[in-house]
Amino acid sequence: MPSPDLNLLVALDVLLNEGSVARAAQRLRLSPSAMSRTLARLREATGDPLLVRAGRGLVPTPRAQELRLQVGRVVEEGEALLRPARLLDLQGLDRTFTLRTNESFVEEFGPRLVASVGAQAPNVRLRFAPKSDKDVASLRDATIDLEIGVAGETGPEIRIQTLFRDRFIGAAR
């Protein structure tokens, strides 16, 4: 069985909202005959007449009335999927992020990080949590939002990115 033409969903939504082949054709910038052929394809695909003549107009069948709300939501969701992503509004973001890291990171980078975040996103708060182990369960259950440190065993759902490289120097007498 061939996959259905998803363009028919938009046509069905417009036809059911307009209740007229001519008005639906105008809204979709098609000729009335092309819209009539689209309605025929929809009838074949659904196995229902969808719109039937009543006097001088068309009325939806019971199946078309069931589909009206459903197809409207599907078309809206499809349009939302294809819209460009909105950029994050840092000025309006109001959230607390929990970072788990060791004390040396907090001492070295904490003040500058807090100042930078405060300047760009004034309603964002950073909470530093102590790094007691390399367990990633708290990342999985969203107890913490970001872990900074040496990566231990992780799963495929954990994204890792190198922030910097550090080396230890020992001095002995």
Task: Give the residue-averaged pLDDT of 110-136.
Answer: 90
Cα distance between residue 121 and residue 109, in whole Å: 18
Q: How many structural domains are present in the chain?
A: 2
Pick 151 or 69 by higher pLDDT: 69
**Among candidates 17, 3, 2, which has minimal Cα distance to 76?**
17
Is residue 38 a contact partner of residue 30, using CB atoms and an 8 Å limit? yes
Same domain, 55 and 97: no
Rounded to 5°, angle at Cα 62 from 57 and 68 = 80
- Within a domain: 104: yes
The helix/strand/coil state of 90 is coil
Residue numbers of the domain that contains 139: 88-164
CATH number at residue 116: 3.40.190.10
Same domain, 92 and 160: yes
Is residue 42 a contact partner of residue 8, using CB atoms and an 8 Å limit? yes
Across 1-5, 42-46, 76-80, 162-166, the highest mean pLDDT is recorded for 42-46
pLDDT tens by residue, 7-18: 899 999 999 999
* pTM for the structure as a whole: 0.51
Same domain, 95 and 156: yes
pLDDT tens by residue, 15-39: 999 999 999 999 999 999 999 999 9
pLDDT value, residue 69:
81
- Within a domain: 100: yes
Residues above pLDDT 90, as percent of the chain: 52
Same domain, 77 and 124: no
Of 25, 53, 82, which residue is a domain's last? Answer: 82
pLDDT band at 2 (very low <50, low <70, confident <90, very high): confident
The residues near 91 (Cβ < 8 Å, ≥ 6 apart) are 121, 122, 123
Same domain, 125 and 96: yes
pLDDT of 108 > 70? The answer is: yes
Of 46, 65, 82, which residue is a domain's last? Answer: 82
pLDDT of 42 > 90? The answer is: yes
Across 1-15, 77-91, 107-121, 134-148, the highest mean pLDDT is recorded for 107-121
Task: Give the residue-averaged pLDDT of 144-158.
Answer: 75
Of 39, 59, 82, which residue is a domain's last? Answer: 82
- Within a domain: 1: no
Helix axes 32-46, 7-18, angle to 10 degrees: 110
Same domain, 93 and 111: yes
Same domain, 64 and 128: no
